[in-house]
Structure 1
Amino acid sequence: MATITHEPVEQAVDELTRLSGDEESRRAASVRERALINGRSELNAAERRGRQAAHTEAALKMIEAKRFNDATVAELSGLSEEEVRRLRAQD
C-alpha cells in the first residue's frame, strides 16, 4: 500500500483506524446505518404509494368522464388495463 503523506488524510486514516477498533463505535455505526437504510426504504415506499394514488386518481377522472376506453385510460394514467377494468367495475 502506498504511503500517505498528506496530513489531513493521515489524520482521517488514524481516526478511522481508532474508531474501527472500538466495539461500541462499530455497534453505534451499524445502528445508524440500519436506521438510515430503513428511513430510505420507508421514504421510497411512501413515494411509490403517492405515485400510485396519483395514477389511480387520474384514471378515475377519465373513467368518470366516460369518454375514454380502458386502453386509453391505461395509456394516459400509467396503470395497466386490468387495473383500469377493476377501477371501472368499482365505479
Structure 2
Amino acid sequence: MIAKNSKYFIFLIILGGIGGTILGDVIGTHFPSLILLKSAYTIGTTKPLILDLKVMSLTLGVSLNINIMTIIGVILAILLYRKH
C-alpha cells in the first residue's frame, strides 16, 4: 500500500491536471462539436514581473490554463488518492 503523504498527493494532482488538459485538447481537436472541452481559461499574471539588479535579472510569473477536462482530471486524481 502506498503511504499517504503530501508529496504523493501533489504529484497526483499535477499529473491529473496535465493528463486532463492533454485529453481535452485531443478530444476537442478530433471532435469539433466538443470544442468546449478544449477551450481554456487562463488564471495568473499576464506579464511576468522582471527584477533587474544590473548584475542579474530575475523574472517571475505564474499562469494556469484550466479547461473542463483539467478539472475532471484533478477530481479523478483526488479520488484515486483517497482509494489508495
Taking structure 1 as the reference length, the TM-score comes to 0.34
Structure with the higher fraction of residues in helix conformation: 1
Higher RCO, Cα 8 Å, sep 6+: 2
